[in-house]
Structure 1
Amino acid sequence: MIQWHELLVVARSINFSDQEDQLIWQYESKVVYSSSSMYSIINFRGVKKIFLPAVWKLKIPPRVQIFLWLLSQNKIMTRDNLRARGIPKPLECEFCKEVEFVHHLMFDCIIARSLWSDVFKIFHIQVSDYESVACKWLCNKKFLHFNIVTSAMLWGLWNVRNCLVFNRSSWINMKQVWNLVFSYLRNWKVAFQEIGEGESARFITRLLQKLKRPLRLPPC
């Protein structure tokens, strides 16, 4: 849930002008309609499918691109997908004990919501589902830093979950996720110079500050 102080931050960041409102076409990097982008939507029979080719242009390691591609196809091995393949596993989420499926784990679980609330504080972009993340892949030049950070967070959340499932690790607090996200961004900074400046750098600094103090989950 968005807090009042977060709304106030957004309100202060809005600058009004005398210019007329303009329509923006979100499926082109130039935010201007083109027949080729419309053809892509029609050809892939729906908006969600056109996100997939954009995965391979993100400034992230190839294995993370593959993970995001699997996530886009709902093919990562969450509890419900394992059941669908005939593998009997408990359905409970490792973090909150509700039924685990892709949307719940990555966006609706209390742990995921806590992660995305911090993204909002830096980027002022509300993340609520897969599409709210993937639609920014199409304009990677404009949303470069947002795409890098959200990729690290999805990858980190998935790997912490896997440690709990396969390595029998114990869940302690949010630092388990933030430590991984911080390490990913720090390592990617060496490979991709774009991370060393702008909003990505500010997010890394914010993470470092969070890791130096005790963390508490917000109320449900």
Structure 2
Amino acid sequence: MKVKELIDPVTLSWRFNVLLALYSEEEVSMIRSMPICFRLPADRLIWHFHNRGLYMVKSGYNVARKLVQSPSLSASTSNSDGNSYTKLWKSVWKAKVPPKVKVFVWKASQSILPTKVNLAKKGVSLEVRCAMCNEVPETKGDVLKECSFAWDVWFTSPIRLRLVSVRDNSIKEWLISLVDQHEVDLDIFCMLLWAVWQERNAKV
């Protein structure tokens, strides 16, 4: 998706409903605070951590170090699972998967994916049943591990996960348990999690 698809070319304002369907409330607030240029220039890729918008390996390395060390990307120190979640995110960050998959896994663990239930909470009018099995409400956990489609994917995958013991766990708790117990190849797990979500998106 390009930035221009998020902007109404007539009113020169952000398309609020589109933003809500794609991003968390905090992200929507940040996006709407950005001024829109009346010239509507063509989209182009920039690296906003560099004053000329150019990606440099050195700046990329510095940003990666800050992300790993940032307390905002780990659980609050007041949480009992803070250390476990820090370990989880460091493991995910080191995984040999595309960056978009790492970000997706982090969003899934934070319960901020645009599932039907999350969208309904933000006022979007839609049927909240899971798009894959059409049986349970589509929360972040249902679509990734609890509906019949997800069960089939995990059981028939190379890592052959059995989900009975984690049905009541959040995605974050599930990920932490997998990392702590070294049960599975995290690279394969992250890609399968991503694939389940992409299949859901295609169905929707």
Is the CA contact 2:116–2:129 (under 8 Å) kept in the aligned structure 1?
Answer: yes
Question: Which of 128, 132, 144 matches 2:174?
Answer: 132
Structure 1 residues 157 and 42 mapped into 2: Cα distance closer, same or farther (>3 Å)? Answer: closer
Give the distance between the partners of 2:162 and 2:149, measured in 1 at CA. Answer: 16
Is the CA contact 1:79–1:89 (under 8 Å) kept in the aligned structure 2?
Answer: yes
Corresponding residue of 2:146: 108
Superimposed CA distance per residue, residues 68-127 of structure 1 (whole angstroms, 9 cap, x where no aligned partner): 0000000000001101122122101111112111111111100111111124xx546544
1:163 paired to 2:202: yes
In the TM superposition, what is the alpha-carbon distance from 1:62 to its structure 2 partner?
A: 0.4
Question: Which of 60, 79, 88 matches 1:45?
Answer: 79
Give the distance between the partners of 2:153 and 2:98, measured in 1 at CA. Answer: 21
Flag as ranges the 4+ runs of structure 1 deviating above 3 A: 122-129, 132-139
Structure 1 residues 114 and 82 mapped into 2: Cα distance closer, same or farther (>3 Å)? Answer: same
Give the distance between the partners of 2:123 and 2:160, measured in 1 at CA. Answer: 41
Structure 1 residues 45 and 87 mapped into 2: Cα distance closer, same or farther (>3 Å)? Answer: same
Corresponding residue of 2:185: 146
Give the distance between the partners of 2:134 and 2:103, measured in 1 at CA. Answer: 27
Give the distance between the partners of 1:81 and 1:52, measured in 2 at CA. Answer: 23
* Aligned-partner residue type, residue 55 of structure 1: V
CA RMSD in angstroms, aligned pairs only: 2.7
Question: Which of 122, 140, 143 matches 1:85?
Answer: 122
The share of aligned pairs that are identical, in percent, is 25
Give the distance between the partners of 1:77 and 1:70, measured in 2 at CA. Answer: 10
Structure 1 residues 61 and 41 mapped into 2: Cα distance closer, same or farther (>3 Å)? Answer: closer
Determine which structure has the larger helix proportion and give its number: 1
Is the CA contact 2:159–2:185 (under 8 Å) kept in the aligned structure 1?
Answer: yes
Corresponding residue of 2:108: 71
Is the CA contact 1:133–1:150 (under 8 Å) kept in the aligned structure 2?
Answer: no
| Count of equivalent residues | 121
Q: Normalising by the residue count of structure 2, what TM-score does the alignment of the two structures yield? A: 0.51
Is the CA contact 2:154–2:160 (under 8 Å) kept in the aligned structure 1?
Answer: no
Where structure 2 has 5 or more consecutive residues not aligned to the other structure, the ranges are 1-73
Q: Normalising by the residue count of structure 1, what TM-score does the alignment of the two structures yield? A: 0.48
Give the distance between the partners of 1:102 and 1:56, measured in 2 at CA. Answer: 21
Is the CA contact 2:154–2:161 (under 8 Å) kept in the aligned structure 1?
Answer: no
Structure 1 residues 41 and 86 mapped into 2: Cα distance closer, same or farther (>3 Å)? Answer: closer
Structure 1 residues 118 and 134 mapped into 2: Cα distance closer, same or farther (>3 Å)? Answer: farther
Structure 1 residues 61 and 53 mapped into 2: Cα distance closer, same or farther (>3 Å)? Answer: same
Is the CA contact 1:52–1:72 (under 8 Å) kept in the aligned structure 2?
Answer: no
Structure 1 residues 124 and 93 mapped into 2: Cα distance closer, same or farther (>3 Å)? Answer: closer
Corresponding residue of 1:10: none
In the TM superposition, what is the alpha-carbon distance from 1:136 to its structure 2 partner?
A: 3.2
